[in-house]
Structure 1
């Protein structure tokens, strides 16, 4: 067999199964669609589960894919061994009730021996111990020597996950030779050593398990296969692990050039090289599919991988950000198979660079603090409170803390860490789905035989239609009367169904006998439009003819806002750069809310430029063209796709002159002049790397102007001004006067506190040879507290002072320790942290001076009363 590159192997496999009548599908996104059971796609069949269960009809009964996958249970092992990785590609050929064992086995063998020219004497096959049918097919039809077939038990060769489709499987192994064996006389297929490598698994889904030990045969059995592309490449390239495969090696070589090291020279450096290589592959693909860094869910997986890679860069001696550079190589190695990586190059590299830069600002301080904590710990279990502070204050992930501790033979008190995290959050995670819309998805089974609704709403606001189904109270009924809340399904409609960030239409439906008010419109996976409505008069029946009329004024307002969202995205890209991508939107009749990828707040100048560009296009009266076309033609025209979204072969493209061209299934006005004007109302942060702009158009701009003018006039009246034009001047004058008064108050407070210090020092408590004073100063700012601490510390070399200042329902706590007291083991950082925690806060700092914050003022006096005991425990 010949050495074959990974990209060539992928193409050979997909082309081979295309020649066998399979439809080649592009890899599904790593973000599962309509599947809450998975955080990220982790196998070739995972995104096609609904094809196997029959919930969704597959595009063809024979399908082949190369699926991007992420598996995260062994993140800590990645790098430590050469076997573990988080990102991989899974080749697969699938039959949904079409061919079965005869074809699946014959084609697998043909691909291995004819296409890849693998030596027959190196290949072995395993079957389920009771699967005599597979044995007969492999030996008599495929022609394999029976001595090269191994029967294995249920644990190895029977695929079953709870109830549902399951069945036996056959696996193909490659014998790498005796030099990779364990030397045991029983060494053979199934041994844990490195000699026999399983690379292809063919699952025969022929039973439907009820989960109670019963396995009735399926009427239409399926084929589900999986073959790891990197594992196959290892065999074809004669290398020991995935990090030596050609495309992966090219990524690692880039890291080696940056670090000035060579793989194989130093085992410790090799670990770091493997970590960075694997993690930058994973993160590049995850961002390419729309995953954004965050502190939970798949966003946390992304952030964790990036930070782990950044830290290992430091271990290699790389003292700058570098991951975005390496991501360029990841893209270059994979762009032919995954062109979306090249399309999103600017976005991917920008996001990685910003995330690494953000982590770089905290990692040195976090590492220094962690080392300090470890040195002062004195035991093998690290404080959960310290781990929490590292995470909360310095953005230092708990996983990284655990990993560094493990390198020193230590563990962390995870129970305490989790408790503190729960106390901090005390909120349920937001539901990932819109519960109201999702409630109707359950009606899909009730509408199993109802054809999809024909949508006429791009060109019509009224239409004649026929009632196909009525759902009331979770049941399908033949009629509904006045007062009933229903979901109405028609053969055609002008009502737009909620999707793509655009809200559903409202309006009315009339029959000869009934009046119906439509409150919202949604659609299910089968493209049945559900008109959520109330029967206001009469009776509506299945098969009746009706007239549908959408709320025209509301729809026009929605259309104005939707078209302005397209103009807004184009303007943002022109002002900020090509890394800007849509990260979500809501378009209704009141406003447009547009989320986009960017990494800092927009300046007033940037917002002004964006708004100006949008309004220039509006005032130019540019026609808006909407038309359907093949997706490849749309891409050639430069149409923008929604970040992380997958599209069919035919797409709808909305074009606004030379300014904007996007894939979009929503409704739009036909000329920008009809938008009237566009005004940005707010700009804010949604998540790390995601900003949000809210804006209004048309009548919304008039409403905003009227409200603003009214507020200005009210403010002028409150300040007893005759003319609202004097408002700014008066506000500046009042602000200056208040600042001057604040300074006077602070100066007086400081003088009063200074007078108190002398009496506090006179009454200092003696604790084991040091003097301890505590006090609360209402209305005192942090800077003043520090000054008071410095004054107390300068008074005596054995002084320990802890002062709290209260303001606006919160407290700041300052602690200082003079030289002699510090030499005796007293630590200001530890004191202030302990006191703050007793009052519902946290903080810390240096041994001689530290600050903290507290939230529970009712516990402040009690916390300060504990200072003497805390100091006594510290004294040597």
Structure 2
């Protein structure tokens, strides 16, 4: 069964049982300040569970795009993903444990033909009803385990506050793991974590709400919230021990092989396989996030996207790629996912341009940044510790995210002085604080441009050139109406395709061409909301637009 066939089978099964199909919501949660990203299928249904809105139906089903940041550094191994799809069926005060458990078992063993003797269930320590229901399905007592909240059998809330409840997880048993003493002694179970068991479905009995003070109150009704990871379930139906061997992700790994000239062989070349998987996963995650309007930046969601993008480029660089590759991989990721996410097709060209522009900018500084990091590693051989000041310089000047510096350092057995990095970051904030709206040095130039109140729109993701208007000119720190041939100065336009310096990226170079002259841009900076182009007039003259 292919991944797409699995999607269709899941939705059809629950639609036949009275569930209304609901489209995936955005990865940017609507009206939920407690979440950075949509992390589970139930996020868009929280108002229904809380009694704040009337659901379109009491039974719902969906395939939700999800994104989680908790294990970014692990992406590249056989099991971790940041972006994934979650199959879910939901009840808003309608059915409860008997139906949820019965249907989950029937779908897995009846529709997907998964061998029931390989399934284990965990229930919350005090949940006798769920344990009895699994026993009715034919599970023997030694495969019905009672787990605590710390062991994962209490779900939620998805943020600091929200719906939550005890849960029951279903695990698939791949068979004994060589070298695991628990497997050898026949005492192994899912919480051991030896790789023998794979969690494939979580059934949450959503009955409580966590308040801001940490207290727990009852929800208006008892609800059901289930989530089955599409890629995980596909690995079981396809007999693939790693997520990247399932049909859709495997096709994207093949693209990574093509652009790198490297072969995917986890046994013979584990480091190359790790890099190819990281490139694969992050390319798909980029397509998911950009489709929903997340753009690279130095804070919040945009920082997460930029971190993934640069991590993918780093791993490509690590296995010898020196030419841009990300656009090709993003294009292939869209081909694989647009059937369930049709808006990806509408955004295809924009997402490809975004990948191309961001990769080109990072490649300008990556080689020098990694060379400097190697020098620091050699210099600190005695301490095996990267000083915070060096880590900050790599971030601020060369665009290496702290997390990437840590990852490279750890591969050499080094640690990074995180507190020292934080101190350097705070010193930079102090230097630039003067006015809280300034993100560049607090000098007279920043004050002047802030006073202008010009918000320059960055349009570089739409193309490398743009038609715009000249709004302001300066020479030697003074406003002028005109700059003549040979004169240096600063130009402010309404829309700029040139990216300002920041986050380790140098400011773009380029040309401003008007009917009267040509201005060579040597540097691009941002002062508040104003993008300023610095350079000199090469031909004719430049004047403020009428």
TM-score range, shorter chain: 0.7 to 0.9
SS in 2 for 1:45: helix
Residue 135 and residue 384 in structure 1: after superposition, are their counterparts in 2 closer, same or farther (change >3 A)?
closer
In structure 2, what is the Cα distance between the partners aligned to 1:248 and 1:39? 25
TM-score (norm. length: structure 2) = 0.75
- Aligned residue number for residue 300 of structure 2: 297
Residue 412 and residue 192 in structure 1: after superposition, are their counterparts in 2 closer, same or farther (change >3 A)?
closer
In structure 2, what is the Cα distance between the partners aligned to 1:601 and 1:159? 47
- Aligned residue number for residue 28 of structure 1: 25
The 8 Å contact of residues 22 and 64 in structure 1, kept in 2 or not, is answered as: yes
Residue 601 and residue 46 in structure 1: after superposition, are their counterparts in 2 closer, same or farther (change >3 A)?
same
- Aligned residue number for residue 202 of structure 2: 201
- Aligned residue number for residue 169 of structure 1: 167
In structure 2, what is the Cα distance between the partners aligned to 1:109 and 1:323? 41
User: 1:817-845 deviations in whole A, cap 9, x for unaligned?
Assistant: xxxxxxxxxxxxxxxxxxxxxxxxxxxxx
Larger Rg: 1
Residue 177 and residue 417 in structure 1: after superposition, are their counterparts in 2 closer, same or farther (change >3 A)?
closer
- Aligned residue number for residue 128 of structure 1: 124
Q: Which of 421, 441, 455 is 1:417 aligned to?
A: 421
SS in 2 for 1:598: helix
Residue 31 and residue 163 in structure 1: after superposition, are their counterparts in 2 closer, same or farther (change >3 A)?
closer
User: 1:129-180 deviations in whole A, cap 9, x for unaligned?
Assistant: 322222344444x565556433333434233547764332222222223357
In structure 2, what is the Cα distance between the partners aligned to 1:275 and 1:369? 23
For residue 301 of structure 1, report the CA deviation from its aligned partner. 0.9
SS in 1 for 2:41: coil
For residue 70 of structure 1, report the CA deviation from its aligned partner. 1.4
User: 1:264-315 deviations in whole A, cap 9, x for unaligned?
Assistant: 1312211211211111111111111111011111111111111111111111
The 8 Å contact of residues 126 and 152 in structure 1, kept in 2 or not, is answered as: yes
SS in 1 for 2:425: helix
For residue 209 of structure 1, report the CA deviation from its aligned partner. 6.0
Residue 354 and residue 56 in structure 1: after superposition, are their counterparts in 2 closer, same or farther (change >3 A)?
same
The 8 Å contact of residues 50 and 219 in structure 2, kept in 1 or not, is answered as: no
The 8 Å contact of residues 34 and 161 in structure 2, kept in 1 or not, is answered as: no
TM-score (norm. length: structure 1) = 0.48
Deviates more, 1:127-136 or 1:173-182: 173-182
User: 1:720-756 deviations in whole A, cap 9, x for unaligned?
Assistant: xxxxxxxxx9xxxxxxxxxxxxxxxxxxxxxxxxxxx
- Aligned residue number for residue 598 of structure 1: 461
The 8 Å contact of residues 353 and 463 in structure 2, kept in 1 or not, is answered as: no
In structure 2, what is the Cα distance between the partners aligned to 1:34 and 1:218? 20
In structure 1, what is the Cα distance between the partners aligned to 2:133 and 2:67? 34
Residue 404 and residue 174 in structure 1: after superposition, are their counterparts in 2 closer, same or farther (change >3 A)?
closer
- Aligned residue number for residue 386 of structure 2: 382
- Aligned residue number for residue 147 of structure 2: 152
Q: In the alignment, is residue 306 of structure 1 matched against residue 301 of structure 2?
A: no
Length, aligned pairs only: 452
Q: Which of 101, 104, 107 is 2:103 aligned to?
A: 107
For residue 357 of structure 1, report the CA deviation from its aligned partner. 0.6
Where in structure 1 are there 5+ consecutive unaligned residues?
431-590, 609-679, 690-728, 730-876
Residue 321 and residue 129 in structure 1: after superposition, are their counterparts in 2 closer, same or farther (change >3 A)?
same
Where in structure 2 are there 5+ consecutive unaligned residues?
438-453, 470-491, 502-515, 517-546
SS in 2 for 1:203: strand
- Aligned residue number for residue 87 of structure 1: 83
In structure 2, what is the Cα distance between the partners aligned to 1:212 and 1:104? 31
Higher normalized contact order (CA 8 Å, seq sep 6+, divided by chain length): 2
Alignment of 1:6-45 (within 5 A): 6-45=3-42
- Aligned residue number for residue 184 of structure 2: 183
- Aligned residue number for residue 634 of structure 1: none
The 8 Å contact of residues 46 and 162 in structure 2, kept in 1 or not, is answered as: no
In structure 1, what is the Cα distance between the partners aligned to 2:129 and 2:153? 14
Residue 217 and residue 349 in structure 1: after superposition, are their counterparts in 2 closer, same or farther (change >3 A)?
closer
For residue 370 of structure 1, report the CA deviation from its aligned partner. 2.6
In structure 1, what is the Cα distance between the partners aligned to 2:493 and 2:387? 46
The 8 Å contact of residues 94 and 224 in structure 1, kept in 2 or not, is answered as: yes
Alignment of 1:549-698 (within 5 A): 598=461, 602=465, 606-607=467-468, 682-684=494-496
- Aligned residue number for residue 318 of structure 1: 321
SS in 2 for 1:251: helix
